Structure 1
Amino acid sequence: MKIPQNQIINSEFILMKNIKKIIAFSAISIAMSCGKTSEEKENNTTEVTENQPLNIIFMVGDGMGIPQVSSAFYFGENTPNFKQFESIGLSRTSSTSHLITDSAAGATAFATGEKTYKRAIGVSKDSVALPTILEQLKEQDYQTGLISLTSITHATPAAYYAHVEDRDMHEDIAKQLVEAEVDFFAGGGKKYFQNREDGLNLYDSLTAKNYKLDTLELSKPDYSRRNAYLLSEEGLPSKTEGRGDFLGDAAKTAFDYFEANEKPFFVMIEGSYIDWGGHAKDDQMMIQEVLDFDKTIGVVLDFVKSHPNTLLVITADHETGGVSIGKSYDENGKEIPQQVQVYFNTDQHSTELVPVFAKGKGEELFRGIYENNEIYHKLMQAINEN
């Protein structure tokens, strides 16, 4: 406040008096702040997070049924991260054309909320393009991400951005990925972006779309651009072939990128080779892929715990191998009491219900037994109710 001319004589006195008042008020404020209970402080934090859009982390253990999850408890050295979940459900995986589905129809159900026919990517049972959760959230100013061990054009990641009648249309799918402008993606599939039958070089197209493209390593992201990591011609190596910690490292890299841009995000992370272990009837491959997926869950849970405005949902598109875990026998046919063994009933998918694990805001929505396409609707409900 401007002091009138006739009060200039008293200005120094008034100034000192006001300073004393400010100091006294500050001391009271500090004392009140220090006197707040932990519950009051927590409520203040809650008020801040409640006004923020919900981050969504969706993890798919391709081919991961209950027996595969069980293997982590019997063959791992540490307590599985699966044990940290209290909100658990079961999902029925059938497609509109087959009781026993495939990854394309399963992922389309997750991504669009509609069941479709086997081999379909992002289209209805009548082959009409369906909007995906990734596309819808992008329109709401969400950042978007996809991480896979297979080609990034493979069925599970493709269902979030592509719309084709058959999952093997990899070149069309790759072209649609460029057009989709996903902010962060990591996986394999280099061959579908260059040396294509149509002669297009999609590396150039990605650069034109403001992507930092790395085909050699999972390097530090460029926070001012989109980021694309294409690290193998098709799929990455399996865990038993020496893949290392790609899945967890890619998740950390994505979180680092999303946090730097300070906007909500949706990311799908696929543990692809649990399924491949089942198809190969390779128990060691299956077990190691489950353990790697569980380790990645630990990385993601660390993020969720420090970012309360995040929902993590983990499930599978189907079970592969008709797996059971039973008694183990020595070469003489005698049971080994402290060992168990993996048994495969088939080298194909099965119709077993698959588990759903949820942690974070809205996790209670995922308890119970429901169809796989309901997962999309539950995710959207959690976002809208936040």
Structure 2
Amino acid sequence: MKKTCVALAVASLLMTGCGSDDKEIVEVIKEVEVIKEVEVPPVAVTEVKNVILMIGDGMGPQQVGLLEEYARRAPNSTYSAKNGVTALSNFANQGVMGLSLNAPHGDNGKLVVDSACSATQLATGLAAGSEMIGLDDQGNIVETILEKAKKAGKATGLVSDTRITHATPAAFAAHQPHRSLEPAIAEELIESGNVDVLLSGGARVFLPSDIKIDAADRDVMSALGAPESVYKKSKRSDNRNLVVEAKEQFGYELAFDKAQLAATETTKLLGLFANSGMADGIAYSACKEANNCSQPSLKEMTKKALDVLSKDEDGFFLMIEGGQIDWAGHANDAGWMLHELLKFDEAVEAVYEWVKDRNDTLVVVTADHETGSFGFSYSRYNMPEATTLPGDGMQGRDYKPNFNFGDLSHLEMLYKQSGTFYNMLDMANADWNFDAATANDWMTAINNYSAYKVTLEEAEKVGERENNPYYDPDHSYQSADVTPKFDDFNEFYVYADEDHTAKIGRALARHQNVVWGTGTHTAAPVPVYAFGPEGVTKQFSTMQHHVDIGQKMMAALGL
């Protein structure tokens, strides 16, 4: 923006005009003409009113690549009406991009991070230890960006499609030595008064322990408008009903389904839409197409949170998590992961539409870590046939690459998957008694949900089991006597029977041109998208660490 120094020039003219001859005045006028042309740069905006942090849990560069390839090049991409442009790309094109390391820092530093530590480092701008919630690396309680924003008079919110007490949302508003202490986390979220909007699943840790058998407790939840699917069981060891306490003692309005959420008019809102995690991305795609979703989508929760929080004239902090990208990565389930990325990008689009014409808001979109070591890869399976190309450079030779580099049809086939690998486990044996599941059970289950079809021989490998080489009777997962048998990377599949999903991933791998390296996380740097005033966003266009991102967001809010 151009600004002329007219005031300075006029002052100079007046000062010299008294007792000066015409020649001196002419010289001053000439100076004014020069000064008028001086361009004064605008003052950089270094603080904002609002910060929106979006976390694609498990969304490393590879996962972003899957989303972008599908959007741009799938034969029947759902982005065709948008010219293949994702909401993430809108932020990349109009904002800045960087990378962020995410491993645990500090005296207890490690190479690979879990969601609790990573989210804590984003939330506090300080080093944290593995599996801690809202503590520094020495175990001290430290204020999070959400708590500081609330103290500064701003509204605050947490949104997730997993559980509201799960590691990522919990790290912004609770302080616990371990992420598994979800009942205690639920108490903190409600009692602290620090979070105005809480939207997710996870009702099971808000409900009294005897909810399953006590008719009176069930009648209370029904009277509040909760469907039975939300209050079907509890993970508490006491008889506190935090849902009732949230309403009666702490002033929260309640919502338990999509219609109730849409109807709320409040500035303090608790939405619990599932007993545990919310609907997966494949189930969401199906109900969206049929127009019969009972749960709100991540996009709808995001829009409601923005509507509520933006009523505060002092601004707000909002964290939104697409948490099931990570769950699909742990399962080594590429089809499910694609649908989770699509669901997350819908929420990103809602934020983009809200913020695109504003200059008072910083949006940061990133991941806590990468999950699964996922990637498309070329192989020697299904080698290409020779074809003839018309180009004058072929010199009479056929076009015949040495390897199978993967057809674009895989993008469409992955999208067509009609159930997650967990649905396949349920179908193979409803009781998860996989010692009793036959190769035919596995083949039938996989081929029922997958657009790719496996043979009986491939399915037999899925059901292979062995005595647990890492058996530990006191460990939550390694107490299993028998676990799935892996011929590779055995040490990196840590979740006992759940890891039969990764065996399914291996059975489908050659058909999909997909490889997986682990059932846990990797140390890959993750993408960072930043949108907002240039004076705020330019600092994110670098290689950084999640501790740095936390500090930059706090500085942007003036905290």
Question: Could you tell me which residue of structure 1 aligns to residue 320 of structure 2?
Answer: 269
2:125 partner amino acid: G
Q: Which sits farther off after the overlay, 66-75 or 251-260?
A: 251-260
- Whether the 8 Å CA contact 2:298–2:347 is kept in 1: the answer is yes
Could you list the per-position Cα deviations for residues 113-140 of structure 1 after superposition, in whole angstroms to 9, with x for gaps in the alignment?
Answer: 1121111000112211110000000011
Deviation at 1:97, TM superposition (A): 3.9
Question: Could you tell me which residue of structure 1 aligns to residue 529 of structure 2?
Answer: 357
- Whether the 8 Å CA contact 2:135–2:176 is kept in 1: the answer is yes
Query: Whole-Å Cα distance in 2 between the matches of residues 290 and 242 of structure 1?
Result: 12
Residues 166-177 of structure 1 correspond to what in structure 2 (within 5 A)?
A: 166-177=178-189
2:186 partner amino acid: A
Q: Which sits farther off after the overlay, 242-251 or 83-92?
A: 242-251
Question: Could you tell me which residue of structure 1 aligns to residue 87 of structure 2?
Answer: 81
Query: Which of 356, 372, 375 matches 2:549?
Result: 375
Question: Could you tell me which residue of structure 2 aligns to residue 159 of structure 1?
Answer: 171
Could you list the per-position Cα deviations for residues 129-184 of structure 1 after superposition, in whole angstroms to 9, with x for gaps in the alignment?
Answer: 11000000001111000000111000000001100000000110000000232111
| DSSP 3-state at the match of 2:262 | coil
Deviation at 1:221, TM superposition (A): 5.9
Structure 1 unmatched runs, 5+ = 1-45
- Whether the 8 Å CA contact 2:531–2:537 is kept in 1: the answer is yes
Give the direction of change, closer, same or farther, for the CA distance of 1:82–1:53 in structure 2 (3 Å limit). closer
Query: Which of 249, 253, 256 matches 1:215?
Result: 256
Question: Could you tell me which residue of structure 1 aligns to residue 400 of structure 2?
Answer: none
Question: Could you tell me which residue of structure 1 aligns to residue 336 of structure 2?
Answer: 285
| DSSP 3-state at the match of 1:260 | coil
Question: Could you tell me which residue of structure 1 aligns to residue 299 of structure 2?
Answer: 248
| DSSP 3-state at the match of 2:276 | coil
Query: Which of 352, 359, 362 matches 1:308?
Result: 359
2:558 partner amino acid: N
Q: Which sits farther off after the overlay, 332-341 or 349-358?
A: 332-341
1:66 partner amino acid: P
Pair 1:198 & 2:370 matched: no
- Whether the 8 Å CA contact 1:223–1:261 is kept in 2: the answer is no
Pair 1:104 & 2:116 matched: yes
| DSSP 3-state at the match of 2:187 | helix
Number of aligned residues: 339
Give the direction of change, closer, same or farther, for the CA distance of 1:337–1:219 in structure 2 (3 Å limit). closer
Question: Could you tell me which residue of structure 1 aligns to residue 281 of structure 2?
Answer: 239
Query: Whole-Å Cα distance in 1 between the matches of residues 46 and 177 of structure 2?
Result: 40
Deviation at 1:224, TM superposition (A): 4.1
- Whether the 8 Å CA contact 2:200–2:272 is kept in 1: the answer is yes
1:370 partner amino acid: Q
2:557 partner amino acid: I
Could you list the per-position Cα deviations for residues 332-368 of structure 1 after superposition, in whole angstroms to 9, with x for gaps in the alignment?
Answer: 6762664264321111100111111100121112110
Question: Could you tell me which residue of structure 2 aligns to residue 226 of structure 1?
Answer: 268
Query: Whole-Å Cα distance in 1 between the matches of residues 173 and 558 of structure 2?
Result: 22
Structure showing the higher strand proportion among its residues: 1
2:138 partner amino acid: D
Query: Whole-Å Cα distance in 2 between the matches of residues 209 and 370 of structure 1?
Result: 39
Pair 1:91 & 2:109 matched: no
| DSSP 3-state at the match of 2:254 | strand
After TM superposition, the score normalised by the length of structure 1 is: 0.82
Equivalent pairs: percent with the same residue?
33
Comparing both chains, which one has the higher relative contact order based on Cα–Cα distances under 8 Å and sequence gaps of 6 or more? 1
Query: Whole-Å Cα distance in 2 between the matches of residues 188 and 56 of structure 1?
Result: 23
| DSSP 3-state at the match of 2:557 | helix
After TM superposition, the score normalised by the length of structure 2 is: 0.58
Could you list the per-position Cα deviations for residues 278-320 of structure 1 after superposition, in whole angstroms to 9, with x for gaps in the alignment?
Answer: 1000000111111221222111111111332111001111100
Query: Whole-Å Cα distance in 2 between the matches of residues 216 and 290 of structure 1?
Result: 23
2:542 partner amino acid: G
Deviation at 1:331, TM superposition (A): 4.6
Query: Which of 53, 58, 61 matches 1:63?
Result: 58
1:214 partner amino acid: A
Could you list the per-position Cα deviations for residues 16-37 of structure 1 after superposition, in whole angstroms to 9, with x for gaps in the alignment?
Answer: xxxxxxxxxxxxxxxxxxxxxx
Query: Whole-Å Cα distance in 2 between the matches of residues 151 and 130 of structure 1?
Result: 23
Give the direction of change, closer, same or farther, for the CA distance of 1:71–1:265 in structure 2 (3 Å limit). same
Question: Could you tell me which residue of structure 2 aligns to residue 25 of structure 1?
Answer: none
- Whether the 8 Å CA contact 1:221–1:227 is kept in 2: the answer is no
- Whether the 8 Å CA contact 2:203–2:275 is kept in 1: the answer is yes
Query: Which of 123, 131, 139 matches 2:135?
Result: 123
Rg bigger for which structure? 2
2:362 partner amino acid: L
Could you list the per-position Cα deviations for residues 231-276 of structure 1 after superposition, in whole angstroms to 9, with x for gaps in the alignment?
Answer: 1011102111236561111111111112334440110000001111
Structure 2 unmatched runs, 5+ = 1-41, 72-76, 78-83, 209-235, 289-295, 386-403, 411-512
Query: Whole-Å Cα distance in 2 between the matches of residues 336 and 376 of structure 1?
Result: 40
2:523 partner amino acid: T
- Whether the 8 Å CA contact 2:267–2:308 is kept in 1: the answer is no
Question: Could you tell me which residue of structure 1 aligns to residue 8 of structure 2?
Answer: none
- Whether the 8 Å CA contact 2:284–2:297 is kept in 1: the answer is no
Query: Whole-Å Cα distance in 1 between the matches of residues 171 and 520 of structure 2?
Result: 21
Give the direction of change, closer, same or farther, for the CA distance of 1:188–1:329 in structure 2 (3 Å limit). farther
